[in-house]
Structure 1
């Protein structure tokens, strides 16, 4: 399988899951540690447009600031450091993540917006959790006034403003809820 290259200046949907669908996060501390490692290895070489950490998978929407080799190595460092710590913590051995993290080059601005909403609504879609209160997605950081390393200004500008950002998320969330009722 040929992997999508990670070109400087391009935007990518990065995602992966636990090998055989296993949990990659057992608790909040695991997720906090993953985010801490992400910050350590990647905060200076990618811009983050959205993220969500679920129990058995994660989604990131990033823009690459550096050359591919440096970015791929940073992701490798992140995943290896996290897997070693998780395996030690859970007394397991072997691979934690599926072989290669998935990456899709996203060039269309409308698709970027849909991906941001999709990523933020993952808790609702998978577990019928309230996406607005979910601690491990970037949604709350975008509607907050607190300082963040996320690309808040760019993302909110994509949606027009903060109010429309919230409106679009809620509209899509209601659609998902209606789909549950039809099942």
Structure 2
């Protein structure tokens, strides 16, 4: 299988992944919170998040990777921290070496997602006595290139629990950003940007209801990502 291209800077992506062999990636309710905590640690420094949905055996997120300047600052800070933690790299010669190769810099956004998946898999393996990979490789990604696609992917992500019959109404699913966007509670999600795209809260709710009722989510997404 050909390896996918690395994630680009300052680009919108629909990113998704599922458990290997369709295995559940969330075993207990507490796993959802741990997933989001690790997501905050690994992904928020390198990407803004606009929508998400976590299901038992897979998840979806809509993100925009940060600019090259923002990302490389995180990258160089990361390299410095790792060198400081390693006694072998504290001498002057090591300190004067370049902070990562060009290829490492290019691969960094993709690597942070891989690091996130590995950290979560390690926690699940330790908690439930399993071994090996938890997620499929490589993770899925589709570039989002225009406003219409953005609307459609947001709706597709939010309607997933209903599509997979976890609930009768997607609005009831707790592990989704649908309600977060309507809430007034503090959030790191780019709530205002999403509402600006849709126009306002009424258009946001109306369009979601319309698309789901007409079973248009698959058509609007441009593909069925499961």
The equivalent position to 1:95 in structure 2, one of 129, 133, 141, is 133
Show CA shifts across 1:41-100 (max 9, x none). 111211101110100101011000036432122212211110011011111111111111
Q: Counterparts in 2 of 1:139-178, with a 5 A limit?
A: 139-176=178-215
Q: Which runs of 5+ in 1 are unaligned?
A: 178-183
User: Counterpart in 2 of 1:137?
Assistant: 176
Query: 2:97 maps to which residue?
Result: none
Q: Does 1:116 align with 2:116?
A: no
User: C-alpha offsets along residues 142-177 of structure 1, whole Å, 9 cap, x if unaligned?
Assistant: 001111111111111111111100111111222249
Which has the higher Rg, Structure 1 or Structure 2?
Answer: 2
Q: Structure 2: 5+ residue runs without aligned partners?
A: 73-105, 217-226
1:14-40 Cα distance to aligned partner (Å, 9 max, x none): 111011111111121111100000001
Q: Look up the SS of the partner of 2:164 in the other structure.
A: helix
TM alignment of 1:23-62, pairs within 5 A: 23-62=24-63
What is the TM-score when the length of structure 1 is the normalising length?
0.91
Runs (4+) of structure 1 moved beyond 4 Å? none
CA distance in 2, matches of 1:62, 1:114: 14
Q: Is the 8 A contact 1:4 1:103 kept in 2?
A: no
Question: Conserved in 2, the CA contact under 8 Å of 1:48 and 1:61?
Answer: yes
Distance in 2 between residues matched to 1:57 and 1:80, nearest whole Å: 15
Q: CA deviation at 1:115?
A: 0.4
Task: Give the deviation of 1:128 after TM superposition.
Answer: 5.0
Q: Distance in 2 between matches of 1:85 and 1:127?
A: 28
Q: Which moved more, 1:63-72 or 1:34-43?
A: 63-72
Task: Check whether the contact 1:52–1:120 (CA below 8 A) recurs between aligned residues.
Answer: yes
Q: How many residues align?
A: 177
